[in-house]
Structures are given as structure tokens and as C-alpha cells.
Amino acid sequence: MDPITVSTTIALPREQVFEYLADIANHAEFTDHYLVDWHLTRVDPYGPGAGARFRIKAPLNRFSWADVTFAELQPPYRIVERGRGGKFNRIRMLGTYTLSPGPGGTTRVAYTLETEPALLSDKLLEALGGRRWSRRQAAKAMRRLRTILEEGRDRGHRATVAAR
């Protein structure tokens, strides 16, 4: 799939936004409308190597489990996460959070998602609405991220190592 990019501006310093995003357990809070059943892959959810496994609530998605791991962190500019999902984890995913300073001490957060479907059937599912659906869900996640960080409301559940 061609990359999709969504962005928002958050009225907080870039370092504070980066610290929140560098803890993968926090990602469940602002993405729990479409990524559910989060489980951490290690005890320490912060920094390179931190990862999580979750289900994607997409229409027509029979193989919904996916996982991501922080591959690269460049404080306070960029976070790169690599992952896999779909049947037999054959669809590669690359997500990048880019933080840039905005006017008046704000932070512009841009999230880019790229997927690499392995088979024609995977490509067809993406072409039949998967890309549009992903963009809508990611845009909503960015709005929720802004609300959580600026106002401290609409918080979901933090991910944990074991199931509750």
C-alpha cells in the first residue's frame, strides 16, 4: 500500500510528546477504537525494542492479530516502529511518528503508515477499502492523542504484559 500520512498539532513541547509516544503502552490509549486486546512483548514498554501485540478491528479482516516493535528512536524527533500482521504475519508494516516544532511551543505530530502485502489477496483487501479505512482510523487516533495530551480526557486503557 502506498504510505498514508495523518497529522495533528499538539499544544505541548516536543520533548513531552516524544516521552509519551516512546512508551508503547500509551499507544493503546489513543488507538483502542480500532486496535484492541493489547499485550506488551516485554516488561519495559519504553525505548528501542519495546513492542506490543494487538488485534485490528477492520471489516472483512479474518486474521486480525498484528505486532509492532520500536526499531528506532531519535529523541525528540522521530519514532520508527516495524511490525507484521495478517495471515501468518506475512504483511509487513512500517509506522513512523515525526515530531516537528510548531508555532508558539506547539508540536506537529505526523504519523505515516506503510504496508507491504505479500500476496495478491492481501493487496485486493487493501485496494477494496483497506487504505481508506486505515487513514480514517489513524486520523481519529491523532485527534484522540491530541485530546489526551492537552486535556487529559478520553483516555483508554494502557497495555500490560499479561491479560487482565
Rounded Cα–Cα distance for residues 133 and 135 (Å): 5
- Residue pLDDT, tens place only, 5-18: 999 999 999 999 99
Percent over 70 (pLDDT), the chain:
93
In a domain, residue 68? The reply is yes
In a domain, residue 26? The reply is yes
In this structure, what CATH number is given to the domain that contains residue 21?
A: 3.30.530.20
In a domain, residue 158? The reply is no
- For residue 118, give Cα distances in angstroms to 46, 61, 84, 122: 30, 15, 11, 7
In a domain, residue 66? The reply is yes
The pairing of strands 4-10 and 65-74 is unpaired
Angle of CA points 53, 70, 119, to nearest 5°:
60
In a domain, residue 162? The reply is no
In a domain, residue 126? The reply is yes
Q: Write the CB contacts of 77 (distance below 8 Å, at least 6 apart in sequence).
A: 14, 18, 98, 99, 100
In a domain, residue 118? The reply is yes
Task: Give the domain extent around 59.
Answer: 4-151
This prediction's pTM: 0.90
Mean pLDDT taken over the chain: 90
Domain count, the chain: 1
